[in-house]
A and B are shown apart, each in its own frame.
Chain A
Amino acid sequence: GIQVEQSPPDLILQEGANSTLRCNFSDSVNNLQWFHQNPWGQLINLFYIPSGTKQNGRLSATTVATERYSLLYISSSQTTDSGVYFCELGNDMRFGAGTRLTVKP
C-alpha cells in the first residue's frame, strides 16, 4: 500500500503564529483529504484536495500530486485550532499518524 508520513508529529505555537503541516506519500493519488480532530474527538473535514490549492478563512491547503506531498497552512492560529491534524489518502483508504498541534494563549 501507499506509505503516508506527516510532519512534524508535534507542534506547539503561541496564539497568532503561523504554521505549515506536511503530508508526504509514496505513490500517486487522486484523492486526498485533511481532517482536524478536535479535543473532543470529532473529525472535521477541512479540505478535499487531490490537487491544487484551496483556502477557507485562515486555513489553506496545497497538494502537488506529481511531487507526492500536500501542505496545510494555518495562519494567525487560535487556541481553537488545537487538536490533531490528519491527512487521508482515499486511493488506499489510509491515514497518516497525524500532527498534534497545541496553540497556547
Chain B
Amino acid sequence: NAGVTQTPKFQVLKTGQSMTLQCAQDMNHEYMSWYRQDPGMGLRLIHYSVGAGITDQGEVPNGYNVSRSTTEDFPLRLLSAAPSQTSVYFCASSPDRATFTGELFFGEGSRLTVL
C-alpha cells in the first residue's frame, strides 16, 4: 500500500492563479481531510469528508474548495491564490471518522508559496 499520496510536493503560484492539490489514498478509508500548517503552529483543519459525495468545512475553509467523487480521491482547489495561503498542506485519511474514533494517517505534505 502507498498509503496517502499528495501531489505536487512543491508549488509556486502568483497571486490570483488557481491550482489543485491532489490527494489519493489506497486504504479504502471513508474519511479524508485537508490541513494547513503555518510556521511554528499546529495543523488547522480546512475541509473534511466522511465519504464519497459528502464534504464539510473545518476551522479555516475560506479560499478553498473540495469535492469527493470517489472514496480514493479528495482534491483541494484554490480558485484565486493569495499570499496568505502560503503554507504547508497535509492530507489525511482515517478508516472510521464518522464517529470520530479512527486513527488518522497523513500524506507527506505539499509546500505552497504564493507570490
Contacts and interface: CB of A to CB of B under 8 A. Distances in A.
Given A42-B108, A43-B90, A30 B101 contact: yes
A96 B105 CA distance: 17
Main secondary structure of the interface of A (DSSP, over half): loop
Given A41-B88, A41-B109, A42-B109, A95 B44 contact: yes
Given A41-B109, A96-B42, A91 B88 contact: no
A50 B90 CA distance: 23
A98 interface: yes
Nearest to A87: B42
Interface in B29-47: 33, 35, 41-45
Nearest to B105: A45
B43 A33 contact: no
Interface string A14-43: 000000000000000011010100000111
A96 B94 CA distance: 19
Interface residues of A, number: 20
Nearest to A93: B45
A47 B10 CA distance: 29
Contacts of A97: 41-42
B94 to A, nearest CB: 8
Contacts of B94: 90
A83 B48 CA distance: 27
Interface string B83-100: 000001010001001001
Interface in B61-115: 88, 90, 94, 97, 100-106, 108-109
20 contacts: A31-B101, A33-B103, A33-B104, A41-B88, A41-B109, A42-B108, A45-B105, A45-B106, A48-B103, A86-B42, A86-B43, A90-B100, A90-B101, A91-B100, A93-B33, A93-B45, A94-B59, A95-B43, A95-B44, A98-B42
